[in-house]
Amino acid sequence: MADIDLSTLSLAELKHLEKNVAKAITSFEERRKAEARAKVDELARELGFSLNELVEAAPIRKRAASEPKYRHPENSEITWSGRGRKPGWIADALASGKSLEDFAI
């Protein structure tokens, strides 16, 4: 690999080099993916399947939406299921001394 003294390049030259490196990386990754896809496809054919048959065989499960457990005291449209990060209005209320039971549906 050629050694490049980056300190001698102008900003424009550095940006051009950066763009070329990004293109080279993308091209390299695409070639590697294509090679991997070809190998997997060949193996699937050897086993009597198509790659699409194997990929589509795994169904994607969707998680059902959680039922709300808590409701905003002033706006009943705003709810929280109790899962994940606490919304700001819950966090503020808890900091002021209220409990989750105060907002239970």
What's the pLDDT tens digit per position in 16-41? 999 999 999 999 999 999 999 999 99
Q: Which pLDDT belongs to residue 10?
A: 95
Q: Which pLDDT belongs to residue 42?
A: 95
Q: Which pLDDT belongs to residue 30?
A: 97
Q: Which pLDDT belongs to residue 56?
A: 74
Q: What are the average pLDDT values for consecutive 10-residue runs of the chain, which has 105 residues?
A: 88 96 97 96 94 76 86 91 92 92 91
DSSP the chain: -----GGGS-HHHHHHHHHHHHHHHHHHHHHHHHHHHHHHHHHHHHTT--HHHHHHTSPPP-PPPPPP-EE-SS-TT-EE-S-SSPPHHHHHHHHTT--GGGGB-
Q: Which pLDDT belongs to residue 13?
A: 96
